[in-house]
Structure formats: C-alpha cells, structure tokens
Amino acid sequence: MNDLPDGIHDMGGMGGMGPVEPEPDEPVFHEPWEGRVYALRRLLVPWGLGGNWGSFRFAQERVPAVDYLRFSYYERWFTALVDVLRANGVVSETELTRGVADPEAPVPARRERPPRAPLGFGLLDFDVPARFRVGDTVRGRTVPPPGHSRLPRYTQGKCGRVVRDNGVYALQDTDRRGQQLGDFPQHVYTVRFTSRELWGARGAERDTVYVELWEDYLERA
Amino acid sequence: MAGSEHKGVGRRKFIKETAAGAAGMAGGAGAAGAAESAQERHEHDHDHQVVPDDIALRVRALESILVEKEMIDPAALDAVVDAYENRIGPRNGAQVVARAWTDPEYKARLLADGTAAIGEFGFLGAQGEHMVVVENTPEVHNLVVCTLCSCYPWPTLGLPPVWYKSAPYRARAVIEPRAVLREFGVELPDDVEVRVWDSTAEIRYLVLPEQPAGTEGLSEEALAELVSRDSMIGVARVAAPPESAA
C-alpha cells in the first residue's frame, strides 16, 4: 500500500511526463458521471465524509502509482470516494455491486466535522505564536512521516525565504491509515525558493517558486 | 432516516431485490450474472485497487444507494452540476480582472487583500476562501500550479481543465515553467522573472494578466470578454481584440 507522502502524486519536478496537452473548448465535465462524482463528494461534506481534505486526498494518493497515472481525474475521485465511504461503513462492496442499499445497514449520523479534526479547514482566529518571521531563511524538513502531507518532495532539504505569514490553519496531515492526526493549529508561511536552489543548473537565473508550508514542515536554516 | 422506513425488510428480500435492481440498471438479461462476476472480481482485489471499469454504472449505483439511504438529494446533485456547468466559471474571474484594469482603487484593494476585493463580487465559497491575486507586469510573469493534487480557485475560475490536473503540467510547471509557457505560445525574455505559485495549502491564486495595449478605452464589460481562463492561470497573455475596437 502507498502510505508515504512522497508518492506518485508528489509530482513537482518529475521527468518523463511528456507535453502538456490542452483541449480546445473543453467541457466542464466530459461525461455525466463525472459531474455526479464531483457533486456527490461535495454533498457528503455535511456528513463528515467529504470535508476532511486530508483523508480524501490521501485516499487518492493511495491509489497504486500505475493506476494513479492511468486513471482519469474523476476516476481517481470516484475510487477515493468509494474508499472513504467503505472505510466509514457507509456503503459495502455488495451494495455497490448490486446498486441497491442494504436496508439493514445503519445510516451514519450527520456531523459537520470529521472526528479528531474539529477545527476543519480554513483560516483560524487563534493566537498561536509564530516561530518564523518574514525574511527568515527556512529549510523544508526531510523524510516527512507516513500518511498525507502537504510538503512537496522538491522542497525537502531546500532553503527558501519566508515572504508572507498567512495566519493560523489546522494541519491537514493524516496518519498512515488516512485518519487526520488532529488539528495542531499553526502558522502557514509562503516560502520563496529560487529556481537555482531547487533545481541547480536546470533552474533559471531569475525564476522563483512560491510554496505555502505549515510551520511543522520547516526548520530554521 | 432510511433505516426506519425499511424496518421489516429482511436480508433475503434485500438480496432478491438487489439482484433485480442490478439487472434493471445494466438493462438486459444476463446483467445479474455480470454483476455477480463483477462482485467476485472485486472480492479478489485488495482495497484501493478497484479498477473502475463500467464506471458510469458504478457511479449510478453509488448515487442510488446514497439516495436510498436519504443521505443525498438527487435534486441537490443536479444543482451542483448545473452551477459548475453554467454559472461558476472563468467569466467570474474575468469580471474581477476587467474591474482591476479600469478602476485603480479596486486594483489596489485586489492586490492588497484578494479575498475581500473578490468578495465585493460575491465570488467566494468553496476553494475560494483565501485568495491571493498576483500581478503580471513587463518584469514579472506569474504561473499557478498545484503539484500535489488539483487546487484551483473554484469561485473565480470554476473547475480546472484536465491539463491543469495532468501529470505533465504538475511535474513540469515548477522545474521548467518557461518550456511549459512556450508550449502554450508564451515566449518570455530571459530578463523577465517567472514566479511559480504552488498551491500546497489553503491559499488559492488568481493571476491578474497584463491589459493588452490599445484597449484602454474599452468598457469593463468589453474588457471582461477578452480575458481568458488561461490568462488567469498564467499560461497565456490576453490578446487585443482582432480589430482595433478602442
């Protein structure tokens, strides 16, 4: 099972992916089922089943690498959605195969927030001290723990400068089973990395990459 | 609750009905058998490795199960799809850009506090809660990506195009943005700084493109018509209208 943060989804800087292929006059949804998958996921938020971005993203990240690359975007969403619903006991494989609800299966209680993450998503009005200030040089931590993380591999061990403190947000990381760890409210910083620091000779002299990073992902450099 | 309505329906009746349901959904004789073998196949798979063959059928199955459990209202699903197909899209962002081009005070507010200024249009909500607007100038070109997944400002740009969510764009935008831009037809001189914004946390970015020369006299509405989705992601410039309408 993929449970490491730097899996196939962590794509920044990878080679071999080929050209970007824009589609002229692309529709919002290519097939009606894509729209249904998107809408189902949105409407399951009040049930505490879709609102946890960490768990939902991790469910996508656990799709094996070969499938991750082969699946269309909404195939991945559907796979992840079913994964989350099955893990929470909302639907069974038998129900999915037969296409009908099992009347004996209990319906989950509606809850606005997933367990262990009552702060959810979004800017928090919390007075948490900031470890770093604008202008500080910081380094992306190496080897993040198993589970979902928002620390891209290409920033790990690289130095950048804090250019903005975005305020306090709940950490969205999960454990290796996809359960959100808790809230751990902390500052999220926008860190400016030079292209040369990230990519060496392949970088461009003037270019920069700006990444938003939770405080736990950073150390003083 | 769905559970109480179905009280008294036994397990055996459920299985009998569900077999009929699956047959009806697949629309033909032999479909029940196909469903059985599909189930068998899935049982042999491990968790998280279910290849979504017949995906339209499986999505329909999931929808009807959740409707039956009274967790989802099908009309609400229709409304979400309709909103993103018909109302929430890049025309919203284009209005923001056109206002910034015509109203310097609005532009100053937009660059100082994107969320508040975009909120003046009401274009906030899911994935647009915390907006930062970055301005393209002759010296700086901004480009937005989400290398880890598909983060994108839904209220101003709608849902992202396939290429934005694709492996090539996510992999390459941070390491060779100039090559990616070239493929989109944007050639940048070496003395322009390319700033790539990787949307890894909860900020969402909108690029304020440069106003094309010769369009200064156009109305806000006419300018909004010129602003493309791609220019607000940062992979295109805004082209002047074909005939000098100014």
Q: How confident is residue B14, by pLDDT bands cut at 50, 70 and 90?
A: very low
Q: Across the strands, what pairs with B33?
A: none
Q: What's CA A85's distance to the chain center, in Å?
A: 18
Each residue's pLDDT tens digit, B64-84: 999 999 999 999 999 999 999
Q: How does B181-193 read in b/e, with b if 16+ C-beta sit within 10 Å?
A: beebebebeeebb
- Whether residues B150 and B208 fall in one domain: yes
Question: Is B116 a domain residue?
Answer: yes
CATH of span A1-111: 1.10.472.20
Closest-CA residue to A185 (of A128, A145, A112): A128
Domain boundary among B38, B72, B106: B72
Domain boundary among B46, B72, B98: B72
Whole-number Å distance between alpha carbons of A13 and B148: 11
- Whether residues B207 and B163 fall in one domain: yes
Flag the least confident range among A43-47, B88-92, B235-239.
A43-47
Residue B35 has pLDDT above 50, yes or no: no
Quickly count helices (H) and strands (E) in chain A: 6, 5
Strands (E) across A38-184 are located at 137-140, 159-169
Q: So what's the pLDDT on residue A115? A: 61
Question: Is B215 a domain residue?
Answer: yes
Each residue's pLDDT tens digit, B187-214: 999 999 999 999 999 999 999 999 999 9
Strands (E) across B162-228 are located at 193-198, 204-208
Residue B104 has pLDDT above 50, yes or no: yes
Question: Is B13 a domain residue?
Answer: yes
Torsion-angle region of residue B71: left (phi > 0), alpha (psi -120 to 50) or beta?
alpha
Residue B32 has pLDDT above 80, yes or no: no
Q: What's CA B56's distance to the chain center, in Å?
A: 20
Closest-CA residue to B199 (of B141, B150, B135): B150
Q: Does B69 touch chain A (CB under 8 A)?
A: yes
* Average pLDDT value for residue range A133-148: 91
- Whether residues B119 and B11 fall in one domain: no
Name the residues of B annotated as catalytic. Answer: 146, 149-151
Percent of chain A with pLDDT over 90: 57
Say which CATH number the domain at B138 has: 3.90.330.10
Question: Is B150 a domain residue?
Answer: yes
CB contact under 8 A, A12 and B191: no
- Whether residues B93 and B64 fall in one domain: no
Q: Does A143 touch chain B (CB under 8 A)?
A: no
- Whether residues B23 and B66 fall in one domain: yes
Question: Is B212 a domain residue?
Answer: yes
Whole-number Å distance between alpha carbons of B19 and B24: 9
Range of the domain at B94: 88-233
Residue B25 has pLDDT above 50, yes or no: no
CB contact under 8 A, A85 and B169: no
Question: Is B77 a domain residue?
Answer: no
Q: So what's the pLDDT on residue B30? A: 35
Q: Cα-flanking dihedrals φ and ψ of residue A73, to 5°?
A: -55, -50
CB contact under 8 A, B172 and A103: no
Domain boundary among B26, B48, B72: B72
Q: Is the dihedral of CA A157, A158, A161, A164 positive or negative?
A: negative
What total of structural domains would you count in chain B?
2
- Whether residues B43 and B156 fall in one domain: no
Q: Does A33 touch chain B (CB under 8 A)?
A: yes
Q: So what's the pLDDT on residue A2? A: 63
Interface of A with B in 155-214 (CB under 8 A): 166, 169, 188, 190, 195, 198-199, 202-214
Same fold flag, A1-111 and A137-220: no
Residue B182 has pLDDT above 50, yes or no: yes
CB of A11 within 8 A of CB of B147?
Answer: yes
Question: Is B239 a domain residue?
Answer: no
Q: So what's the pLDDT on residue A112? A: 63
- Whether residues B97 and B204 fall in one domain: yes
Q: So what's the pLDDT on residue A157? A: 96
Each residue's pLDDT tens digit, A97-128: 888 998 888 887 776 666 666 677 788 888 99
Closest-CA residue to B62 (of A50, A166, A22, A157): A50
- Residue whose entry in the numeric block shows the structure tokens 């798979």: B45
Whole-number Å distance between alpha carbons of A141 and A133: 17
Whole-number Å distance between alpha carbons of A89 and A104: 12
- Whether residues B22 and B129 fall in one domain: no
Reduced to 3 states (helix: H, G, I; strand: E, B; else coil), residue B134 is strand
- Whether residues B107 and B206 fall in one domain: yes
Q: So what's the pLDDT on residue B53? A: 62
Give me chain B's average pLDDT, please. 83
- Whether residues B176 and B225 fall in one domain: yes
Q: So what's the pLDDT on residue B242? A: 79
Give me chain A's average pLDDT, please. 89
Q: Where are the domains positioned within chain A? A: 1-111, 137-220
Whole-number Å distance between alpha carbons of B109 and A81: 39
Which CATH number is A137-220's, of 3.30.930.10, 2.30.30.50, 1.20.1250.20, 3.30.2320.50? 2.30.30.50
Each residue's pLDDT tens digit, B85-94: 999 999 999 9
Who has greater pLDDT, A4 or A73? A73
Q: Looking at beta carbons, which residues of chain A come within 8 Å of B166?
A: 17, 20-21
Q: How confident is residue A89, by pLDDT bands cut at 50, 70 and 90?
A: confident
- Whether residues B41 and B153 fall in one domain: no
Q: Does B172 touch chain A (CB under 8 A)?
A: yes
Residue B49 has pLDDT above 80, yes or no: no
- Whether residues B218 and B108 fall in one domain: yes
* Average pLDDT value for residue range B9-32: 36
